[in-house]
Amino acid sequence: MMLMVLQVFLLIGLGITQISFLSTWPEPVNTVDVLLSLVIFITVLISYHRGLWWGFGAGVFLELFSSLPFGVTTLSMLFMVIMVNFLFKNFFTNRSFYSLLLLGYFGTACFNACSLGLHFLTVVILPSVQGLPTIDFALLFFWEPVFNLVVLGVIFFTYHVSMGRFKSIFLLTHDSHETYRTHR
């Protein structure tokens, strides 16, 4: 119970940081989505079910501050978690840094495409919703994934160093590798 309360406070704290602090930065950097990166990380490295819950919680929290019709962000987040898990289970079966980066890029692009598609669909179906979204493809499908990959890298290395699971193979230098070979 205490862990769940701590996770809710972490979700709210990261959401408030993202909305109030990160959105004030200059143009390409303000697109970084810390909650999206964290949801992708949790889905790939920890648990699919926990990723779904985090995706749902992050989507509902971000809905409160979004100008999109209600439900678009939550559905996009949940669809992104489902697609990332599908790709992880079927194609990227190891929990390596490189597969996390590829899934992070795809997850961010999937989230943005789904958000745009659902927003367009609500504008077409519901006459009360007004205004088509302005689409900046370079911002949505290049800069935001790049900055989210940087955040994913920081989360990944922080998690592995703090959990003591950092592989020592990354720390071997060329000389220590040669020493290992000669003593074997």
Indicate the domain borders of the chain.
31-166
Would you give the DSSP letter of residue 141?
I
CA dist., res. 96 & res. 109, Å (int):
20
Token pair for residue 162?
A: 């703090």
pTM of the model: 0.81
In which region does residue 71 sit, left (phi positive, over 0), alpha (psi from -120 to 50) or beta (all else)? left
Long-range residue pairs from 19-22, CB within 8 A, at least 24 positions apart, any chain: 19/62, 19/65
Q: What is the pLDDT of residue 49?
A: 92
pLDDT at 125: 82
Instruction: Divide the 184 residues of the chain into consecutive groups of 10 and give the mean pLDDT of each group.
Output: 84 85 79 90 91 92 86 93 93 85 92 88 76 70 86 89 61 46 50
Distance CA 94, CA 96 (A): 6
Q: Answer for the pair 81, 43: CB distance below 8 angstroms, yes or no.
A: yes
At 177 the pLDDT is 46
